[in-house]
Chains A and B, each alone.
Chain A
Amino acid sequence: MSQAAFEPRLGATPDPRSDVPAIEVHDLTVAYRTQPVLWDVDFQLPEGELIAIVGPNGAGKSTLLKAILGLVEPLTGRIEVFGAPYRRRRSWVGYVPQRESVDWDFPTTALDVVLMGLYGRVGWFRRPSRGHTKRALECLEHVGMHELAGRQISQLSGGQQQRVFLARALAQDARLYLMDEPFAGVDVTTERAILSLLEELRSQGRTVVAVHHDLQTVAEYFDRVVLLNMRLIAEGPVATTFTDENLQRTYGGRLTVLARAAETLLENRRLDAPPEESTLARREGRGPWS
């Protein structure tokens, strides 16, 4: 973990002259057990934009994020973040997982959760300093959660929980943010607050790549879109890429071709239900062996 000197820099601007893409994905294929989830995905994303990843359930969106973070092992392919493998760029990237991937009944406060984002800077065997706490509080204030800093997280509403997650991301002060459904299940006010936060991040030159579920708001909120359905359907600026035709191709039921081909090679699963991306974690439980 990096031991970068601690300084409260909610405003660090990345190098605007650099033309290294934020993310480069080459020929990425990921299979879960023996079923392909991502197939030959290939794209580049520039820095400094708000980018949405969109696709039907089970299309591999969360898997794509996890592959970028090095959390899943691809069958083939290469991913680079700012020109290097992820593990060399860890301190440049902040991850905001799906809100429901966490047990919010865990005994901890909002402040504590944000402090977790700073563990990389605190280092092993040390406790967070007062400076770290101050920074965490600043981040909470930035998302409007200052007064609830000491509140137990199970007592927070969905929107408040999401804000806490975002405050944690802010604390990481990253150049690239990967967010998994940040707008899911939040109230209107929070949604607007999150959007303005993302826009602020963009104005600082940072990049946000978010899995987004709500087709209605893609064009309004984001600059670029990646349409995914196991394969890359299309990628580009929202205006030219988020078209009816592309949406048809993404959602129009052509998912099955590869899956069917794979299945003829594989067991037919009659005693098991096929794993679905979004329900997998829920069904198999959040055990330590996932």
Chain B
Amino acid sequence: MELTFTARNVLLGATLLGAVGGVLGSFALLRRQSLLGDALSHAALPGVCLAFLVTGSKDPLPLALGALGAGIAGSLTVLALVRWSRIKEDSAIGIVLSVFFGLGIVLLTHIQRLPGGNQTGLDKFLFGQAATLMERDLQVMAILGAAVMVLLGLFYKELKLITFDRAFAESLGLPVRALEGLLTLLLVTVVVVGLQTVGVVLMVATLITPAAAARQWTDSLGWMLVLAGGVGAASGATGALASASVAHLPTGPMIVLVASAVLVVSLLAAPRRGLVRAWLRERGVEQRIRRENLLKDLYRTGEEAGTDPHRLVPLPHLMGLRGQAFGALRATARRLERQGLLSSHDDTLSLTTEGFREAEAVVRKHRLWELYLTRRLELASDHVHRDAEAMEHALSDDDVARLEELLGHPETDPHGRPIPPAPRQPGGAPSPREEATP
């Protein structure tokens, strides 16, 4: 694809910004300072205007310095408001954001009315006009971006510590305030770097969205930084390319939308934290519990009637036992049938031999646990059923074996019902209980 000079600049600028923004945004995210970035980006505007008024030039460097200064002033104001008054942090951020921005707008509109005040020069900072990125701008961006990364690298472990455990860091003698000031300075710098590309309003997403996406995929800070930088760069590049190829698609918003899409996908699909995965896992567990319950119910119905364990049990009866819906029960039954654990005829179910053995195992767990609760923890026998209903699904075979030993290979549960014996190993020794009984 043939890129124009402008498009190439936009691409470079957006990618650079995305990378640096993602990395630094990770720290902002972890320090719960996401919206401080928003305030700082709005606060930078009066700095840009003042720099213009003072130097009379639109050269990026003095404008960047102006923005830097204003950003620092903004962050100090937030700090001062919170420390010296009862105003809370969120209000302080909102105040700095809007008042500084208002000052910036006053200066901007004043400049626009001045003779020769070339307005398209400065108001690009509001929305970002990446198309106006020049070589010089890219140079400034690259230098500042590199400086940010170098400083981050030098102070990485200290910044990590003060973000994680500030009090401990202080106790070690680390100059915590200075380090926090450094982070804020880096944050302001990144904001300045990005103002021309994405503008005041969207700056915060450049910082936070890639970092939030990265967080879902990894539990290591180092990898999170790398990933955030990568996602940021990729979103920047994609957004820039999309904006260049399609008409009327401004760059800044495109970058943000791409990054947001990545975030949504990450939230849903990431392996450990992903919501979809979590939901699937939970459902898996739920379904296993339902299957075990059904086996148990079939067993008990047969046991209570004192007859053939393979007796046919009507579905409505099973529904009544736990108040289950017909459809859900049916689905569970079908699952078990496919596993060969039961067979169904019309609306009745019966355990197969295999199913019977499985059911025995579940019942055994349940009744052993009940016995444990009554004997060892001395709970009343009518209080243990509910707990056992929950515990039986969580006990492993090892747990069960240990329980049996602990309780001395018992034969009946607290309610006098027989505890099914452990399955005899094929061709193996008799189970301990069989040995114990004369």
Q: Write the residues of chain A forming the contact surface with B, with a CB cutoff of 8 angstroms.
A: 1, 66, 69-71, 87, 90, 93, 95, 97, 101-103, 106-109, 112-113, 116, 119-120, 122, 124-125, 127-128, 152, 154, 168, 271-272, 284-290
Q: Are B219 and A97 in contact (CB under 8 A)?
A: no
Q: Are A1 and B173 in contact (CB under 8 A)?
A: yes
A sample of 11 inter-chain contacts (CB < 8 A) reads A90-B172, A95-B171, A97-B165, A107-B30, A107-B218, A107-B220, A107-B221, A113-B164, A127-B157, A128-B157, A288-B31
- B258 beta carbon closer than 8 Å to chain A: no
Select from chain B the residue with minimum beta-carbon distance to A172. B172
Chain B's nearest CB lies how many Å from the CB of A81? 12
The interface residues of chain B lying within 8 Å CB-to-CB of A71 are: 167, 170-171
Q: Are A289 and B171 in contact (CB under 8 A)?
A: no
Q: Are A107 and B173 in contact (CB under 8 A)?
A: no
Q: Are A116 and B220 in contact (CB under 8 A)?
A: no
How big is the B interface, by class? 20 to 34
Select from chain A the residue with minimum beta-carbon distance to B175. A1
Chain B's nearest CB lies how many Å from the CB of A15? 23
- B415 beta carbon closer than 8 Å to chain A: no
Determine which residue in A154, A286, A289 has the highest number of CB atoms from chain B within 10 A of its CB, and name it.
A289
The interface residues of chain A lying within 8 Å CB-to-CB of B165 are: 97, 101-102, 116
Select from chain A the residue with minimum beta-carbon distance to B82. A289
Which residue from B31, B154, B166 sits with its C-beta under 8 Å from A125?
B154
Chain A's nearest CB lies how many Å from the CB of B113? 39
Q: Are B32 and A287 in contact (CB under 8 A)?
A: yes
Contact with A along B201-225 (1 / 0, CB 8 A): 0000000000000010011110010
Which residue from A1, A107, A119 sits with its C-beta under 8 Å from B219?
A107
Select from chain B the residue with minimum beta-carbon distance to A155. B219
Chain B's nearest CB lies how many Å from the CB of A31? 15
- B292 beta carbon closer than 8 Å to chain A: no
Cα–Cα, bound, A288→B173 (Å) = 17
- B358 beta carbon closer than 8 Å to chain A: no
Chain B's nearest CB lies how many Å from the CB of A280? 13
- B411 beta carbon closer than 8 Å to chain A: no
Question: Closest 4 A-B residue pairs measured CB to CB?
Answer: A152-B219, A95-B171, A107-B221, A97-B167
Q: Are B180 and A288 in contact (CB under 8 A)?
A: yes
Q: Are A87 and B82 in contact (CB under 8 A)?
A: no
The interface residues of chain B lying within 8 Å CB-to-CB of A119 are: 157-158, 161, 172, 174
Which residue from A1, A107, A125, A284 sits with its C-beta under 8 Å from B224?
A107
Q: Are B160 and A108 in contact (CB under 8 A)?
A: yes
Given A90-B173, A107-B221, A289 contacting B161 (CB threshold 8 A): no
The interface residues of chain A lying within 8 Å CB-to-CB of B139 are: none
Select from chain A the residue with minimum beta-carbon distance to B184. A288
Which residue from B166, B168, B172 sits with its C-beta under 8 Å from A288?
B166
Q: Are A69 and B31 in contact (CB under 8 A)?
A: no
Given A90-B173, A107-B220, A285 contacting B164 (CB threshold 8 A): no
The interface residues of chain B lying within 8 Å CB-to-CB of A152 are: 219
Cα–Cα, bound, A66→B167 (Å) = 9
- B248 beta carbon closer than 8 Å to chain A: no
Select from chain B the residue with minimum beta-carbon distance to A178. B171
Q: Are B170 and A108 in contact (CB under 8 A)?
A: no
Q: Are A285 and B171 in contact (CB under 8 A)?
A: no
Chain A's nearest CB lies how many Å from the CB of B32? 7
Q: Are B167 and A101 in contact (CB under 8 A)?
A: yes
Chain B's nearest CB lies how many Å from the CB of A194? 18
The interface residues of chain B lying within 8 Å CB-to-CB of A128 are: 157
Chain B's nearest CB lies how many Å from the CB of A41? 20
Q: Are B86 and A87 in contact (CB under 8 A)?
A: no
Cα–Cα, bound, A212→B265 (Å) = 46
Which residue from A109, A116, A287 sits with its C-beta under 8 Å from B168?
A116
The interface residues of chain B lying within 8 Å CB-to-CB of A106 are: 30, 163-164, 221
Chain B's nearest CB lies how many Å from the CB of A90? 5
Chain B's nearest CB lies how many Å from the CB of A35? 14
Chain B's nearest CB lies how many Å from the CB of A221? 23
Q: Are B172 and A289 in contact (CB under 8 A)?
A: no
Assuming A116-B165, A122-B157, A286-B32, what are 18 further A-B pairs, CB within 8 angstroms? A1-B172, A66-B167, A69-B171, A71-B171, A90-B172, A90-B173, A102-B165, A106-B164, A107-B224, A109-B219, A109-B220, A113-B164, A120-B173, A124-B155, A284-B88, A287-B33, A287-B89, A289-B83
Chain B's nearest CB lies how many Å from the CB of A160? 15
The interface residues of chain A lying within 8 Å CB-to-CB of B219 are: 107-109, 152, 154
Chain A's nearest CB lies how many Å from the CB of B219? 4
The interface residues of chain A lying within 8 Å CB-to-CB of B79 are: 289
The interface residues of chain A lying within 8 Å CB-to-CB of B168 are: 95, 97, 116, 168
Select from chain B the residue with minimum beta-carbon distance to A286. B32
Contact with A along B4-36 (1 / 0, CB 8 A): 000000000000000000000000001111000
Cα–Cα, bound, A281→B215 (Å) = 25
Select from chain B the residue with minimum beta-carbon distance to A90. B173
The interface residues of chain B lying within 8 Å CB-to-CB of A125 are: 154
Q: Are A103 and B173 in contact (CB under 8 A)?
A: no
Q: Are B89 and A87 in contact (CB under 8 A)?
A: no
Cα–Cα, bound, A287→B172 (Å) = 20
Q: Are A124 and B158 in contact (CB under 8 A)?
A: yes
Q: Are B173 and A116 in contact (CB under 8 A)?
A: no
Chain A's nearest CB lies how many Å from the CB of B156? 9
Chain B's nearest CB lies how many Å from the CB of A96? 8
Which residue from A87, A95, A122 sits with its C-beta under 8 Å from B167?
A95
Q: Are A272 and B86 in contact (CB under 8 A)?
A: yes
Chain A's nearest CB lies how many Å from the CB of B181? 10
Given A107-B224, A122-B157, A152-B219, A285 contacting B167 (CB threshold 8 A): no
Chain A's nearest CB lies how many Å from the CB of B72? 15
The interface residues of chain B lying within 8 Å CB-to-CB of A271 are: 86
The interface residues of chain A lying within 8 Å CB-to-CB of B163 are: 106
Select from chain A the residue with minimum beta-carbon distance to B80. A289
The interface residues of chain B lying within 8 Å CB-to-CB of A97 are: 165, 167-168
